Amino acid sequence: MGASSTLSNDKLKWMYTQMCRIREFEERVKRTFVEHPGVIRGHAHLGDGAEASIVGSLATRQENDLVMPSYRCHGYPLVLGTPAKALMAEIYQRKTGICKGFGGSMHLADPAHHFPTASGIIGQGIAHAAGAAYAAQVKKTGQVVYSFFGDGSSKQGAFFETLNMAAVWKLPVVFVLENNEYQAYTHIKLEDANAIAGDPLSQKAKAFSIPGVTVDGTDPLKVYDVVSEAAERARAGKGPSLIESKFYRFSPHGNAITVPPVPTQFQEHEAIEVYGNKAEFEAAKANDPIKKFRTHLIGAGVLNDAEARKIEDFVRSEMDEVVKFALESPLPAPEDALNYVYA
């Protein structure tokens, strides 16, 4: 019996709400490129499709646990309590953004809500998460650090070095490898020896003699089960674990890379755009984690259809306000750029 069987109805409803909030937020970011071109600059990466994996993981947290995702970071602070307005405003380059316009989509940060920073360099944040866990260990804070990264980063030196050191030092960290089978435009079977051999990526844990488990990342309760076990292990001083959470991202890697003045948008997923595999994409869409969880909760009597629709309406109107706030917020003063170089 997994730990998720003890979740209260309130917690389950909260989980469903957070999953909807992530999806709606990401949809609004995507729509901004069409409805308000130029408002979002550079490169934005969306987590639509990751909702069950994100929420299922974060639902296992204790109050002071830290969360360190990659640059595909919008969903995590939404769940942690960062005001969605501040997140959207940051992505919209505004002074009212959570980073005052200094970071943008890839570099959101809210240490007050246990989300210190995100790095835009694939894989490097894995080491930062282990470092935060080392501090927790030395200072005996009882914190666990959740490190989220994609399958693409699991070939980076930082992944191997960090997991080894975390294992040797028995650091209180949970490594969640989010396997959506695409690294930017590259399919995993072009670049991962385990995947090519038909082996799960969780097998990489064997290189460090730590537990490795693969989970269906489209089911928030299954994710909750394995992540809470890993978090308990970490909290008990037994060291790190590797969780391979499998799901599909519904958007391409990021908005198309263009050079101004060429406008940019989100195009089709790489499955279609690069590999011509529409069937794979359609199958993944049909396996939408939010639809599945909704059905499950109604079937389990946690929600009825009207209550679910009420949540969905609430989320939509929340995000209406969020976009309005961000659009109406001022840009930073140009000379603000001189702040925060040194502490």
Partner 1 sequence: MAREMMFAEAIAVAITEEMQRDPSVVFYGQNMAMTDRDPFVRKFGKDRVRITPISETAELGIAVGAAMNGLRPIVELYMAEFMLVAFDEVINEAPRLRYMSGGQVKVPCVFKAGFGFAAGWAGQHSNCTYHAMMGIPGLKVAVPSTSADAMGLMRAAIRDDNPVVYLHHYMLTIDKGSVPEGEHIVPFGVADVKREGTDVTIVATAWMVKKSLAAAEILAKEGISAEVVDPRTLAPLDVDTIVQSVKKTGRLVLVDQAPRHASAAAVIAGEVAERGFEYLKAPVKMVTALDTSIPYSEPMEKFVLPSEEKIVNAVKSVLTRQAAAV
Cβ proximity to partner 1, 116 vs 200, nearer residue: 116
Q: How far apart are the first and last CA of the chain?
A: 49
Phi, psi of 225, deg, nearest 5: -60, -55
Selected range binding partner 1 among 114-122, 184-192, 281-289, 301-309, rule: CB under 8 A: 114-122
Q: Judged by CB under 8 A, which of 91, 130, 223, 230 binds partner 1? A: 130
259 binds partner 1 (CB under 8 A): no
91 binds partner 1 (CB under 8 A): no
69 binds partner 1 (CB under 8 A): no
Q: How far apart are CA 146 and CA 59, in angstroms?
A: 12
- Output the CA torsion 158→160→165→167 (10° steps): 140
134 binds partner 1 (CB under 8 A): yes
Q: Judged by CB under 8 A, which of 82, 93, 162, 214 binds partner 1? A: 162
184 binds partner 1 (CB under 8 A): no
334 binds partner 1 (CB under 8 A): no
Under a CB-based contact definition with an 8 Å cutoff, are residues 84 and 21 in contact? yes
161 binds partner 1 (CB under 8 A): yes
Q: How far apart are CA 339 and CA 343, in angstroms?
A: 10
231 binds partner 1 (CB under 8 A): no
Token pair of 70 as six digits: 């990659």
- Output the CA torsion 172→178→179→181 (10° steps): -140
Cβ proximity to partner 1, 18 vs 147, nearer residue: 147
Query: Three-state DSSP class for 83?
Result: coil
Under a CB-based contact definition with an 8 Å cutoff, are residues 222 and 216 in contact? yes
Q: How far apart are CA 184 and CA 198, in angstroms?
A: 21
**Beta bridge partners of residue 110, listed in sequence order:** 115
101 binds partner 1 (CB under 8 A): yes
Selected range binding partner 1 among 31-39, 163-171, 222-230, 322-330, rule: CB under 8 A: 163-171
88 binds partner 1 (CB under 8 A): no
Q: How many residues bind partner 1 (CB under 8 A)?
A: 47
Residues at the site binding partner 1, with contacts judged by CB under 8 A: 66, 68, 97-103, 107, 109-112, 116-117, 119, 121, 124, 126-139, 143, 157-158, 161-162, 164-165, 168-169, 339-343
